[in-house]
Amino acid sequence: MSQHKIDIRYRCLHPSCCVNCREGYLTMSEDFFKELSASSGEEGAFKSPRGACRLGYSQMFKVISVKNVGEAAVSGAAPSAPEMPAEKPSQDPIALLVEEHKDILKILADIEEHVRKRDVDALWVSTNHLENHLQLHSALKEEEVLFPAMRGLVTFGEGLVSTIKEDHREVLSLLHTVRDALRDNDILDGIVKSMIVSLKGHIRKEDAEFFALVSGCLDSCVRSKIMDGMSRIEKAFVAAPAGDRKANPLTSSEREKLDEAIAAVRDLAHIDGGCCN
């Protein structure tokens, strides 16, 4: 069995999209293309296949041109998978941060489940898990690597960064309040809910607006420096254990040691803003 393969030149119709996949080429079978065109419901457009949008959404793509690339052997009845020109998330810092948001959302689902079950011990662990993820993702990768690297490159970048940092502080402060109460076997439903709503809203803001804007302003050199900084941090980061829920909170010397360890990881993140050219 064979299927006709075609090259499609497309343009993303999302109004604020400016990531690297905004325009490009996709190769896929004609049948698969017909399927995607039918599901778009619009003449001259098609729904983007899985993985084509760097931000992970199914977007409307406008067809700019279509070219035959000949017959290709296809086994089975399923349409052939499209070949994606985009870089893998592991090579692109923005795609990587978007992927990490999915992990954070999974932890939030665990927390919601533990609240429903009134399971204080499970919540103690899942909120610790969330705090470690936020330390690595928000406080280190975003604040210490991405934000300094985009300085001067993004219009209104400074204002956007301070809004994002404010969101980070707010979520962390709600999280600390929730964890403090767990020591006394209390589940602060209202605060947990505010924390989850706040964090989900923050993630939506970054995925749909902030990252789309930032990504369009970073060239490949800056991207690779950001990736290096993030990898260094990832390797050096040591997650804090959940610890004993009933034990007293950290003493000041323990807190000092923890702060020193975080500062050491932060130093590793330093990248200069200049380009390698």
34/204 with CB nearer Fe ion: 204
Rule CB under 5 A: which of 21-50 touch Fe ion? none
99/189 with CB nearer Fe ion: 99
User: Look-up: residue for tokens 């960064």?
Assistant: 161
| Amino acid (one-letter) located at 197 | V
Residue nearest to Fe ion (CB): 138
Does 144 interact with Fe ion (rule: CB under 5 A)? no
Which region among 84-92, 131-139, 210-218, 269-277 touches Fe ion (by CB under 5 A)? 131-139
Among 138, 178, 195, 223, binds Fe ion (CB under 5 A): 138
Provide, rounded to whole angstroms, the least separation between the CB of residue 146 and Fe ion.
9
Tokens of 195: 């924390």
59/138 with CB nearer Fe ion: 138
Which region among 31-39, 107-115, 133-141, 191-199 touches Fe ion (by CB under 5 A)? 133-141
3-state SS of 84-131 is CCCCCHHHCHHHHHHHHHHHHHHHHHHHHHHHHCCCHHHHHHHHHHHH
Provide, rounded to whole angstroms, the least separation between the CB of residue 143 and Fe ion.
8
SS3 content of the chain, % helix, strand, coil (to 5): 55, 15, 30
Please count the residues of this chain forming the interface with Fe ion, following the rule CB under 5 A: 3
| Amino acid (one-letter) located at 117 | K
CB 218 within 8 Å of CB 273: no
Does 206 interact with Fe ion (rule: CB under 5 A)? yes
Does 215 interact with Fe ion (rule: CB under 5 A)? no
Measure the CA–CA gap between 1 and 186, rounded to whole angstroms: 63
Q: Which residues pair with 25 in a beta bridge?
A: 9
User: Look-up: residue for tokens 């052939």?
Assistant: 80
Residues near Fe ion (CB under 5 A):
138, 142, 206
